[in-house]
Amino acid sequence: MRKVHLRFMYTIILFIAVMDGYASENHAAKTKTIPSYIEALNTRDWDGAMDALEKIGAPAVDQLITAMNEPSDGSAWKQRRAAQALGKIGSQKAENALLTALANERMNSHIHRSVAKALGNIGSSDARDALVKTCQDRSKNINLRATAVYTLANFPSKKTVELLTEAMKSGEMPIQYRAGEALAEIGSSEAVEALVDGLKINPTCIFDEAVREALVNLPTEETCDVLVSALHSERWTVRWSSAETLERIGEPAAIALMKALKDSDSLVRWNAIRLLGNLQSNRMITSLVEALRDDHWMVRNEAAVHLVRLNSMDAVDPLMKMLKDDNFKTCEKAAWILGEIGAKEAENRLIVMLQEKGPSAWMAAISLGKLRSEKSVERLVDGLKGHNLQIRRASAWALAQIISDESRFALKGASCDEDEEVRFWADMALVK
């Protein structure tokens, strides 16, 4: 027999074997028993087993109760998932077993929390009462109480909101965090108002996505004030989450952010100016220009970058006035923005600024270079001959951008300057 034929035969045999294997597997799947599903709760494929047990329903309850109550130490995955499955089945027998488990003081804390969650899923009045009792019993494990607090979101009512409001004031971090999450899950205006009140005491739960979403949906002045206040947090995640929420709220947050520009904390002012800038509205120009006078470099830098991004001619006049500001760092930023947005009308003011040779004159030279100002060449040549190294470098850079006979002539002389950078710009211009 030829080799090809043999291979063909082998393939057929393999195919039949595989089909047979598939058929046996399929048969086995159909005949899987409840104990095997319960055992599978302890494996990576637990979710499939959980679905199967939920479908089986009442006949699986007894064995699930036994599995949940099996002694365990460590993470107890099987027991926890058995509790979860009981919660999904939700029969009276399952509920009674879960209520008994919740009252059992000696139960593993991991299983206890799964029991609380399962009762939350069942959502009956008995389950609710048991969970409320657990929340309020300070002798219980704090993580169990926090889980119970969270499960109250499954029982949305005025009474629940009141309980959660109390929990937000408890002074216990895990409880406050979970109460915040539960109020956000409930999402009614009363719940979000209670959440905002709670955030005044502890803003940590802003980190939770559901909490942020709830705040975005109720962007009141108070919400914005609370979020701005959270920008003071020592934790970056809280600051970042508050800023992100304020950004999503958008224009309604502007007033709170403008107030924050007067805050004593430079990081709060920086975040405020960043968020106001991100609104990309000409209405923010005054605040952005004013922020160029801030004491902190981060605030000035952020405001300058946003003014360039806005690229609005409305900013030109106030910026030109700022070129005479007492603070040279403010003048520097104003000159940079004018150069970046190509404000030709600022040319004469920038030339004067360069001529005066103050500490920000170098930035005037840079901006004149960006404006390709031929009018300024004479002043730039003066700058190139001066003693101030930064003005010399900036003038050389600017002259290299403005290609004219006069600038070339001046740069020829600079190609033997003592400073390497001045020589570099002269050489760069001369080879153009």
Q: Which residues bind another protein (CB under 8 A)?
A: 7-8, 11-12, 15, 236, 240, 267, 270, 274, 297-299, 301-302, 304-306, 308-309, 333, 336, 362-363, 366, 390, 393-394, 397, 421, 424-425
Task: Give the nearer residue to another protein in terms of CB position, either 79 or 301.
Answer: 301
CA distance 99 to 123: 12
Cβ–Cβ < 8 Å for 167, 147: no
**Shortest Å, Cβ 236 to another protein:** 5
Residue in 132, 168, 136, 167 with CA at minimum distance from that of residue 152: 132
**Shortest Å, Cβ 300 to another protein:** 8
Task: Give the nearer residue to another protein in terms of CB position, either 111 or 398.
Answer: 398
Task: Give the nearer residue to another protein in terms of CB position, either 207 or 240.
Answer: 240
Distance between the two ends of the chain, CA-based, in angstroms?
Answer: 79
CA distance 22 to 284: 68
**Shortest Å, Cβ 223 to another protein:** 24
Q: How far is CA 333 from CA 261, 319, 365, 398, in A?
A: 18, 9, 13, 17
Task: Give the nearer residue to another protein in terms of CB position, either 81 or 274.
Answer: 274
Q: How far is CA 139 from CA 104, 126, 133, 135, 183, in A?
A: 13, 21, 11, 10, 24
CA distance 181 to 117: 14
Residue in 307, 313, 301 with CA at minimum distance from that of residue 287: 307
CA distance 169 to 83: 31
Task: Give the nearer residue to another protein in terms of CB position, either 83 or 310.
Answer: 310
Task: Give the nearer residue to another protein in terms of CB position, either 164 or 396.
Answer: 396
Residue type, 76: A
Task: Give the nearer residue to another protein in terms of CB position, either 9 or 173.
Answer: 9
Query: Could you tell me the maximum CA-CA distance found in the chain, to the nearest angstrom?
Result: 101
**Shortest Å, Cβ 420 to another protein:** 9
For residue 123, what is the DSSP state?
A: -
**Shortest Å, Cβ 368 to another protein:** 12
Cβ–Cβ < 8 Å for 68, 79: yes
CA distance 294 to 228: 19
**Shortest Å, Cβ 207 to another protein:** 14
**Shortest Å, Cβ 397 to another protein:** 5
Determine how many CB atoms are found less than 10 A away from the CB of residue 340: 18
**Shortest Å, Cβ 11 to another protein:** 5
Q: What is the helix (H) or strand (E) element at residue 228, kind and residue range?
A: helix 221-230
Task: Give the nearer residue to another protein in terms of CB position, either 131 or 304.
Answer: 304
Task: Give the nearer residue to another protein in terms of CB position, either 105 or 236.
Answer: 236
**Shortest Å, Cβ 418 to another protein:** 15
